[in-house]
Structure 1
C-alpha cells in the first residue's frame, strides 16, 4: 500500500515544481522531500522523476502516479475535513470565474474577508474552459461559469443572468448600423461571441463581427473600455464589466430593444465534501449576484 505521506510530498512537488519551495509548503526539509520521493520510487520499483540541474521532469510512471495520486490526496484531505473542526468563517477558499463577474464579485468577497480575517479568499480570473478544468482537478473549491459543463465531475447550478450591453463612445445616443461600421470594433477574447449574440437579433445587417474594422483588442477585462472611452471604437460586454468601469461620462451604454443575457452558473466538484467555509462563501456569492437572479 502506498504511504499517503510520501504521495502527498510527491504530488506537492509536481505542482510546485521546486524542492525547496515544496519543503517550505509542507514544513519539511528539502532532504525530507527527496527522501519521500526515493521511498516512493523504491516501493513502486519505478523511477518517477529525472533531475535536470535544479529542476526535474516526470517519467511516464511519474505522470501516471500524479494523475491518480492527486485525486487520492484530495479525497484524503476531504476526509480530514469531514472528521475535524469545520468552522464557517475560517480557512482558505479557492475560487475562479470569468473576468466580468470577477470585477463585481472579488471586491465584495474581499469585504467579507475583512469582516472575517481568518477566511482567506484566493481568486483567479479565467475563461469558462479553464474554470471547469480547475473544478475537475480539485484546484478550486468554487467556480463560476457562463457555459454548461462538459465534464461529468463538474456540478453546476444556475444562479443569475448577466446582460450583454453595447458600449459606444460618449455622444452616440441612439446606435445605428452606420455608426457601428464607422466606429469599428474593440475586440476581446469573447468579443466576437458576445457581438454575435447581441447584434444579430438587433441589427438585420449583422452577419459576423468581421463586418467591422477591428480598431483594438485587449484581453484585460478592466481595460477593454479604455479605447472605447477615447473614441476608438465600440464593443459588447457583460454588464458587470461595464458597471466596474469608472469613466462612465466618456461612454454611452445601450440596452438594446431585444435584450440578451448569459446564464451564470456556480459550480463545484460533484464528489467533493463541502466544508462550512465553502457554504459560507457560496451564500455570500449569491447575496452579491442574485439581486435580480433566477
Structure 2
C-alpha cells in the first residue's frame, strides 16, 4: 500500500515544480521531501523523476502516479474536512421521548428545521424504558424521560417539570371522589402511574386505579382525551398532552388542592460527545419545556 504522506509530498512536488518551495509548503526540509520521493520509487520499483539539481522532470511512471495520485490526495483532503466538520445546522438529529413531551416539542423542532432545511429531525415517541434503551444503544442522540435512568451508559439530568392534570367531561364541575367513581377511568400506558401520583395526593379514598371502572383505553397520546370529551370517563395526563388536545372546550381541567408534577430528564450517552447539531436541537427544545 502506498504511504499517503509520501504520495502527498510527491504530488505537491509535481505541482510546485521545485524541491525547496515544496519543502516550505509542507513545512519539511528539502532532504525530507527527497527522501520520501525516493521511498516511493523504491516501493514501486520505478524511477518517478529525472533529477536536475533542485529541479526535475517526470518519467512516464511519475506522470501516471501523479494523475491518479492527486485524485487520492484530494479525496483524503475532502475526507479530513468532512470528518473534522461539526456543523450546527446540518445533519440528522435523532430524538425520542414519551408522547406528552413529544406533542409539545415536535412542532417547535419542525419549525427549527424549516429555518435550517439541512438539519433533519428524526423524532420517535416511546415510553421511558424504550427511550432509556435507545440512548444506551446509541440508537438516538438524545432522549427525554420522566424517570431517572438506571443504566450505567445513560446520563440523565433534570431539565424541567411537567404538571399532571385531572381532566373530566365538561359537565363535571366538582370532581369529588363519587363523581370520579361514577365517570370511570380512561386508561393509557402511563394511566395507573399518573393516577396513582395525582389521585393519591388528593383523594383519601384512593388506594389503586383498580378501584375505578375502566371505561376506555388508548395508547395514542393525542387521542386519550377524545373519549373524555364524549363524556365516557375521566383521565389523568401530563400538561403538554392536555394542551395539545384540539377540542379544549369539550373537557374540563381541574385544579386540585395538592398539585403534582413529574420531573423531565434529558438522557444522553455518557461516553459520547454531543455534536453541535444535537446541541442546536437541545437548545431549541429546552426553550419550550
TM-score by length of 1: 0.70
1:105 aligned to 2:128?
Answer: no
Matched residue SS, 2:288: helix
What are the superposed Cα offsets for residues 104-138 of structure 1, whole Å, 9 maximum, x if unpaired?
10111000000000000000000000000000000
Q: Distance in 2 between matches of 1:191 and 1:229?
A: 17
8 Å CA contact retained: 1:164, 1:237: yes
**Cross-structure match for 2:200:** 200
> What is the root-mean-square deviation in Å for CA atoms of aligned residues?
1.3
**Cross-structure match for 2:216:** 216
Q: Distance in 1 between matches of 2:82 and 2:167?
A: 48
**Cross-structure match for 1:84:** 84
How far the C-alpha of 1:174 sits from its partner, in A, is: 2.0
How far the C-alpha of 1:82 sits from its partner, in A, is: 9.6
For structure 1, the 5+ residue unaligned runs are 1-79, 290-294
**Which has the higher Rg, Structure 1 or Structure 2?**
2
Q: Distance in 2 between matches of 1:195 and 1:144?
A: 21
What are the superposed Cα offsets for residues 177-199 of structure 1, whole Å, 9 maximum, x if unpaired?
11000000000011011001000
Superposed, 1:39-54 pairs within 5 Å as none
How far the C-alpha of 1:154 sits from its partner, in A, is: 0.3
Q: Distance in 2 between matches of 1:284 and 1:96?
A: 15
Q: Distance in 2 between matches of 1:137 and 1:252?
A: 41
1:281 aligned to 2:274?
Answer: no
1:162 aligned to 2:162?
Answer: yes
What are the superposed Cα offsets for residues 84-117 of structure 1, whole Å, 9 maximum, x if unpaired?
1111111000000000000010111000000000
What are the superposed Cα offsets for residues 12-33 of structure 1, whole Å, 9 maximum, x if unpaired?
xxxxxxxxxxxxxxxxxxxxxx
**Cross-structure match for 2:32:** none
Superposed, 1:222-261 pairs within 5 Å as 222-261=222-261
TM-score by length of 2: 0.71
- In 2 relative to 1, CA 208–104 (structure 1 residues): closer, same or farther, beyond 3 Å? same
**Cross-structure match for 1:59:** none
8 Å CA contact retained: 1:82, 1:273: no
For structure 2, the 5+ residue unaligned runs are 1-79
